[in-house]
Amino acid sequence: MKKLINTPDGVLADSLAGYAAAHPEVRVDPVNRIVYRATPKEAGKVALLSGGGSGHEPLHGGYVGLGMLDAAVAGEVFTSPTPDQVQEATKTVDTGAGVLHIVKNYTGDVMNFDMASELAAAEAGVQVETVVVADDVAVQDSLYTAGRRGVGTTVLLEKIVGAAAEEGRDLASVASLARRVNDAGRSMGMALTSCTVPAAGKPTFDLPDDQMEIGIGIHGEPGRHRQDLAPASEIAQLLVEPILADLDFTGAPVIAMLNGMGGSPLIELYLMYGEVAKLLSAAGVTVARPLVGNYITSLDMAGCSLTLLKADDEILKLWDAPVVTPGLRWGA
């Protein structure tokens, strides 16, 4: 294992310290491992909280700031944060208008966020709503989930719903929008290599040099199948076709995110997006807002994922609204 670390068990603490040093616009609680906005949202606005295991950066801490999250809770690499961590963040970010928990559909995350919301309500009177993101079309059930895994739509949802919260919408409205976005998003991923969790010291799974995994999860969970390596044009088909078969994306503007898994260079990601764009155009899908880069990763895994979100004028307006975070920034 070759990694830029001090010790395997100190990766998260050391990374959070570096994150705080690099981004004065956020505040890091090193004890509870929570990233907050340095300047809290004004009173009377709904707060957004997300989090999960580390290793998916910039998700979630990179999306704390104006127009997105109020805080992100960091578990150890690929490990859910504890209920105590989530409860602490929930109580801290509440301005009196309630808190929306945005939770990726992994069993530990769902359970711990649920426990935390109950504790925050009982002990501090915080009103909490929860949306569980479940957009991965690759498999119905996985090692970490009951039902579909929560992947790329999480990023788009945090941006869109974050803009709605900045407008001053109430908790019920923000939660309703979040569920609508979740229902309109679909994702599919693939891997050329495994990832290596620092504490494990070796690749999560073995993938021969001449094969790729189609439908991979963001923790290295198995996908639909393995097959021989193929040109990017064929890989694009393997990502696009299952998504379009699952939901009709014609007749509405679409937000399309071609996301790197952490180990593939941008030159390859843009090449892949070019292939995806041709397929979507041929299928009658109108991409109104493209996004290409590393937004929800799996440590050093080489590969990519595609997320499509069926939008409308309201969603596009919220997407275009100003955002100032380390991971996304425009309009301000």
The per-residue pLDDT for 139 is 81
Give residue-wise pLDDT tens across range 279-309. 999 999 999 999 999 999 999 999 999 999 9
For 324, counting Cβ atoms within 10 Å of its Cβ (0-12 exposed, 13-18 middle, 19+ buried), the class is middle
Which is the catalytic residue, given 23, 56, 60, 101? 56
Q: Is the pTM of this model over 0.95?
A: yes
**pLDDT band with cut points at 50, 70 and 90 for residue 222:** confident
Radius of gyration of the chain (CA): 19
Main-chain dihedrals φ then ψ at residue 299, nearest 5 degrees: 55, -115
Joined together, the tokens standing for residue 273 give: 């997006």
The per-residue pLDDT for 144 is 65
Q: What is the mean pLDDT of residues 66-71?
A: 98
The per-residue pLDDT for 145 is 67
The per-residue pLDDT for 154 is 98
60: closest CA among 154, 147, 144, 133? Answer: 154
Give residue-wise pLDDT tens across range 147-174. 899 999 999 999 999 999 999 999 999 9
Rounded to whole angstroms, how far apart are CA atoms 322 and 327? 13
Rounded to whole angstroms, how far apart are CA atoms 225 and 212? 9
pLDDT at 141 over 90: no
Which is the catalytic residue, given 23, 60, 101, 219? 219
Q: Quick one: DSSP state of residue 66?
A: B
Q: What is the mean pLDDT of residues 251-260?
A: 98
Rounded to whole angstroms, how far apart are CA atoms 55 and 60? 10
**Mean pLDDT in the chain?**
96
Residues, the chain: 332
23 classed as catalytic: no
Rounded to whole angstroms, how far apart are CA atoms 148 and 255? 20
Question: For the chain, what are the domain ranges?
Answer: 20-183, 185-330
Rounded to whole angstroms, how far apart are CA atoms 314 and 332? 19
Rounded to whole angstroms, how far apart are CA atoms 264 and 259? 10
**What DSSP assignment string belongs to 195-248?**
-B-TTT-SBSS---TTEEEET--TTS---SEEEE---HHHHHHHHHHHHHHHS-
- Percent of the chain at pLDDT exceeding 70: 98
Give residue-wise pLDDT tens across range 72-123. 999 999 999 999 999 999 999 999 999 999 999 999 999 999 999 999 999 9
225 classed as catalytic: no
Main-chain dihedrals φ then ψ at residue 223, nearest 5 degrees: -105, -145
Between residues 224 and 17, the one the model is more confident about:
17
pLDDT at 230 over 70: yes
Joined together, the tokens standing for residue 203 give: 């690749």
pLDDT at 140 over 80: no
User: What separation, in Å, do the N-terminal and C-terminal C-alpha atoms of the chain show?
Assistant: 41
- Give domain 185-330's CATH superfamily: Dihydroxyacetone kinase; domain 2 (3.30.1180.20)
Was domain 20-183 assigned CATH 3.40.50.300?
Answer: no
pLDDT at 142 over 70: no
pLDDT at 220 over 90: no
Joined together, the tokens standing for residue 286 give: 């109108």
The per-residue pLDDT for 143 is 66
Joined together, the tokens standing for residue 318 give: 């919220």
- Percent of the chain at pLDDT exceeding 90: 95
For residue 250, the SS3 value is: coil
Q: Quote the distance between the C-alpha of residue 267 and its chain's center.
A: 22
